[in-house]
Amino acid sequence: MGKFEIALFALCAAIGIAGALVTVGARRPIRSALGLLATILGVAGCYLLLEAQFLAAIQLIVYAGAVVVLFIFVVMLLGSASTSPRDAKSAIPRYIGAGLFLAGSSAALLLILRVGTKVEALLPPAPAGFGSVEGVGGELFTRYVVPFELAGALLIVAVIGAMAVARGKQPDPTLRPAADAAGAAPPGASEHGATEPAPGGKAAEPHGGA
């Protein structure tokens, strides 16, 4: 039994790390998104290994299903502009930064490993129902009911916020008299010299005196 699990773990780990590397390294964001999807799947696998079935499901549904899809949706929305051109100007400091970062993190990892791994022994089998929907659900709705409600509220606020930010400011139609709606250019238009009329009003409508 043990070897099968090791293999599964190795597979998930490989998928996870490969996906992560793709996400970070890919030039075009669509590939990064897919890399992210891979990582998420890998992690979900690990959850299963760690007896966290409910969480693995959540991971798949929420993360893979919603978040990554959202990313892909936005990438599609931005179209070609989303791939940032290769910028040679600040390359050197970036590589230095990368080098430093890698050195730092490897030193930290080594230091941690030196603490010694007392946790050699095999894990005792998990109690029944550990990680299952009943177990997690039961605890979720008894001890953690308040955070749960708060999380709900948080999500609602996030949705409203996202809508407000993304939608930008719509000029209030009732304010402007109907007559010059067509003729005069909207007051803020010349402000930004934006080439194509982006949907909705300008983000930073100069309102009121400075």
One-letter identity of residue 164 = A
The verdict on 103 binding another protein (CB under 8 A) reads no
Q: Token pair of 122, please?
A: 């095999």
Distance CA 16, CA 36 (A): 9
The verdict on 161 binding another protein (CB under 8 A) reads yes
Distance CA 7, CA 3 (A): 6
Spatial neighbors of 191 by CB under 8 A, at least 6 apart, are 202, 206
- Contacting range for another protein; rule: CB under 8 A; set: 111-119, 170-178, 182-190: 111-119
Decide: 16 and 43 in contact? Cβ < 8 Å: yes
The verdict on 123 binding another protein (CB under 8 A) reads yes
**What is the distance in angstroms between the CA of the first residue and the CA of the last residue of the chain?**
72
Distance CA 137, CA 139 (A): 5
Residue 178 beta carbon to another protein: minimum distance, rounded to whole angstroms? 27
Residue 168 beta carbon to another protein: minimum distance, rounded to whole angstroms? 6
Q: Which of residues 6-65 bind another protein (CB under 8 A)?
A: 6, 9, 13, 16-17, 20-21, 23-24, 26, 29, 32-33, 35-36, 39-40, 43, 46-47, 49-52, 54-55, 58-59, 62-63
Q: Which of 76, 144, 176, 181 binds another protein (CB under 8 A)?
A: 144
Half-sphere exposure of 162 (CA within 13 A, CB side): 7
Q: Which of residues 187-206 bind another protein (CB under 8 A)?
A: 194, 198, 203-204
Decide: 68 and 37 in contact? Cβ < 8 Å: yes
Residue 210 beta carbon to another protein: minimum distance, rounded to whole angstroms? 16
Count, residues near another protein per rule CB under 8 A? 97
The verdict on 102 binding another protein (CB under 8 A) reads yes
Instruction: State which residue, 4 or 174, has the beta carbon closest to another protein.
Output: 4
